[in-house]
Structure 1
Amino acid sequence: MAVSLELVDALKRCLRGQGMTYRDLAAQMKMSEAAIKRMFSRRAMSLQRLEQICEVLDVGLAELSAEASRGRKPMAQLEAAQEQALVKEPALLMALFLTLNRWRQEDVLEHFGFTSAQWTGLLVKLDRLGIIELMPGNRTRTLTARNFRWRADGPMERYFRHTLLTDYFADAFDGEQDALLLLSGSLSIEGIKQLRQRLEEVAREFDALLARDATLPASERIGVSLVLAQKPWLLQLFNPYRRSRTG
């Protein structure tokens, strides 16, 4: 039985939404990348193949059908009001983090101190905010792109700078999974642009790894936060030695 073009297109959107490439999908399905590309480019696949891909993406056929009927692109950025709601309620922010990283309800209840009713309540709030779509059985469909970005100088970014950043750097980076590189120097404008491009490449690679490992059980994954930053900046302790440029 052939699958409709609308379902194939919806499947493409689900792939993009989870930040998964054709190469990632091919590895999960033990197929060649060329075969995966050919299948999507021709927009033709069997129902059995569709079900296999849905299993990899942890997406039900009912969810995929709903996505096909909507045909809307995932959000690349939240509204300021949505971010503010997350900042005001840390449990809600945590629920979004777990949902984006495809934690199953049973894993959430095992690892964190939520009751089933409390977890459902958080998912309902995220649904009402328009960040996720709550499905039967507390299954969720995220309405954001897998690699969505916080608003520049928005509520979440300000909360991170003023509150979370101190907490992040409070402890030593001396564990096996830790890394801290603090570099400084003088660059040309062109050099700064090239460095920014490389940081964006690292961010995309981080997103790709998240998508790849999202299918692993929660017990085999570790929460990781990556901070990438650059800006023209001089240590304040150097200021007394700078020559005044007035006059």
Structure 2
Amino acid sequence: MQRRNTALGVHCNRNRPSVDRADIRYRNPIPMAVSVELVEGLKRLLRGQGMTYRELAGRLKMSEAAVKRMFSLRAMSLQRLEQICDVLDVGLAELAAESARGRESMARLSEAQEHALVSDPVLLLALFLSLNRWRQEDVLAQFAFTEAQWTGLLVKLDRLGIIELLPGNRARALTARNFRWRRDGPMERYFRERLLTDYFADPFDGEQDGLFLLSGSLGIEGVKQMRQRLEEVVREFDALLVRDATLPAKERIGMSLVLAQKPWLLQLFQQYRRALDRT
């Protein structure tokens, strides 16, 4: 006779001989058949955090092939399932909720969501802290919020559909870990009009600072290669965010990168250009 753990979609056999629970979990973990929904939930959580099978394998001290096989066969022990949840920093209840949800994380926010954020900078701060997995005790220790105020901000983000508010004021992002702002959307315009000057106001002379102003003439292939390199830096930054997300807040530094390239001639040089013959 079988019974099903409906929350996780794990099948357990009551007729299996009685075995010490610690023996199952730690000495000889037995792979269990898990539901398609649960595996898809794990995959969505991995994608949402920008984590590859190779990176997960490294954290689990397994080969990449073994991890792929485990997911394709949908066979993993409870111990292994808990280890994966630890890597992703989610609980089994959150995994069950994600499995039941069955929807992709947002790659971009809507126009209305971005507008709500730029209209309320403190809400933008709350989103930054939530996406970077700040615990409530760290938020209250380092920012001038009461618990009620912090809860109110999380409720607003939940109502906007950007996070899901969980018990204990924990937040599950409904966006992909590496989501992008809308091109020329409210946030990009807000950055250009309000934040860009603030970002460059102080000299870049600290140990963690770096400013590189480069210009030159490139061929089309060179331009394409530079664009690809910038995209590689973006992916590496996302991967580092995932890796360091489990560190205590006091061991992390808020960092911002501004990467850009475009054909451009400084405006004050324009007056020296020879007028083009349009005849």
What's the counterpart of residue 132 of structure 1?
A: 163
* CA distance in structure 1 between the partners assigned to 2:147 and 2:245 by the alignment: 22
What's the counterpart of residue 139 of structure 2?
A: 108
Contact 1:8 1:44 in 2 (8 A): no
Structure 2 SS opposite 1:161: helix
What's the counterpart of residue 269 of structure 2?
A: 238
Higher relative contact order (CA 8 A, sep 6+): 1
Contact 1:87 1:93 in 2 (8 A): yes
Quick one: structure 1 residues 128 and 103, their matched pair in 2 at CA, closer, same or farther if it must change by over 3 Å?
A: same
Q: Superposed, which structure 2 residues align to 1:191-230 within 5 Å? A: 191-230=222-261
Bigger helix share? 1
Cα offset, 1:22, TM superposition: 2.3
Correspondence 1:15 to 2:15: no
Cα offset, 1:87, TM superposition: 0.3
Among 185, 189, 196, which residue is 1:158 paired with? 189
Q: Superposed, which structure 2 residues align to 1:70-109 within 5 Å? A: 70-109=101-140
Larger Rg: 2
What's the counterpart of residue 44 of structure 1?
A: 75
Structure 2: runs of 5+ lacking an equivalent:
1-11, 13-31
Deviations 1:204-223 (A, max 9, x none): 11101101111111111100
The letter for the 1-side match of 2:76 is M
Cα offset, 1:75, TM superposition: 0.3
Contact 1:5 1:44 in 2 (8 A): no
Structure 1: runs of 5+ lacking an equivalent:
none
Contact 1:76 1:149 in 2 (8 A): yes
What's the counterpart of residue 62 of structure 2?
A: 31
Correspondence 1:55 to 2:55: no
Cα offset, 1:26, TM superposition: 2.8
* CA distance in structure 2 between the partners assigned to 1:85 and 1:71 by the alignment: 26
Cα offset, 1:34, TM superposition: 3.4
User: Please, which moves more after superposition, 185-194 or 67-76?
Assistant: 185-194
Question: When the two structures are superposed, what TM-score results if normalisation uses the length of structure 2?
Answer: 0.85
Cα offset, 1:236, TM superposition: 1.7
User: Please, which moves more after superposition, 232-241 or 73-82?
Assistant: 232-241
* CA distance in structure 1 between the partners assigned to 2:149 and 2:74 by the alignment: 42
What's the counterpart of residue 189 of structure 1?
A: 220
User: Please, which moves more after superposition, 200-209 or 29-38?
Assistant: 29-38
Structure 2 SS opposite 1:149: coil
What's the counterpart of residue 5 of structure 1?
A: 36
Cα offset, 1:113, TM superposition: 0.9
* CA distance in structure 1 between the partners assigned to 2:86 and 2:197 by the alignment: 40
Quick one: structure 1 residues 29 and 219, their matched pair in 2 at CA, closer, same or farther if it must change by over 3 Å?
A: farther
What's the counterpart of residue 118 of structure 1?
A: 149
Cα offset, 1:246, TM superposition: 4.6
Among 170, 173, 198, which residue is 1:142 paired with? 173
Deviations 1:166-222 (A, max 9, x none): 000111111111111111011122221221111111111110110111111111110
Question: When the two structures are superposed, what TM-score results if normalisation uses the length of structure 1?
Answer: 0.95
